[in-house]
Amino acid sequence: MAKVLVVDDEKDVVYLIKVLLEREKLEVLEAYNGLEAYNKLTAKEPLRILPDAIVLDIMMPEMDGYTLQSKLQEIDELSNIPIVILTAKGQMKDLFELASNIFAFVEKPFEPKNLVKIVKDAIASKK
């Protein structure tokens, strides 16, 4: 079963995405800020998680999505995980232009079916 890490500081957004993706038989892992996600991704076995895709909000406390994405690019085994950027700020795209691990941008509020399709395409792109 494919795993998707959803990183957003808005609990209702995480819950909505979790419900949508679990309906598609995907395993959903949760983190509520970039630092929590980073710690889960870089923890020692057996606590470490290695998702097939990441849905990542940008504006979050502790560590924002841009910083998390940059740190993941520096770690070989994490640099190829496709990331779907979820943001209310369309102009943030410029920050990520050179990032090889960004699969797509989805603006909030998002169309649920569209987000599910993009996440599934991101997972398929990794295989």
Question: Domains in the chain: how many in total?
Answer: 1
Measure the CA angle with vertex 21, ends 47 and 56; round to 5°.
65
Give percent of the chain with pLDDT exceeding 90: 80
Domain around 59 = 3-126
pLDDT per residue over 88-121, tens digit each? Answer: 766 566 666 667 789 998 988 999 999 999 999 9
Q: According to the model, what pLDDT value does residue 97 have? A: 65
The Cα–Cα gap between 20 and 113 comes to 8
**Distances in whole angstroms, Cα of residue 116 to Cα of each of 33, 48, 81, 107, 119:** 21, 25, 17, 13, 5
What pLDDT does residue 29 have? 98
- pTM, to two decimals: 0.94
| Whether 53 contacts 119, CB under 8 Å | yes
Closest C-alpha among 48, 61, 57, 63 to residue 17: 57
Structural tokens at position 17: 């995405």
Q: Is the pLDDT at 50 greater than 70, yes or no?
A: yes
- Burial of 24: CB neighbours in 10 Å, binned 0-12, 13-18, 19+: middle
CATH code, 116: 3.40.50.2300
Q: How many CB atoms lie within 10 A of CB 91?
A: 7
Where does the chain show beta strands of DSSP type E?
Answer: 3-7, 27-31, 53-57, 83-87, 102-107
Are the CB atoms for 29 and 49 separated by under 8 Å? Answer: yes
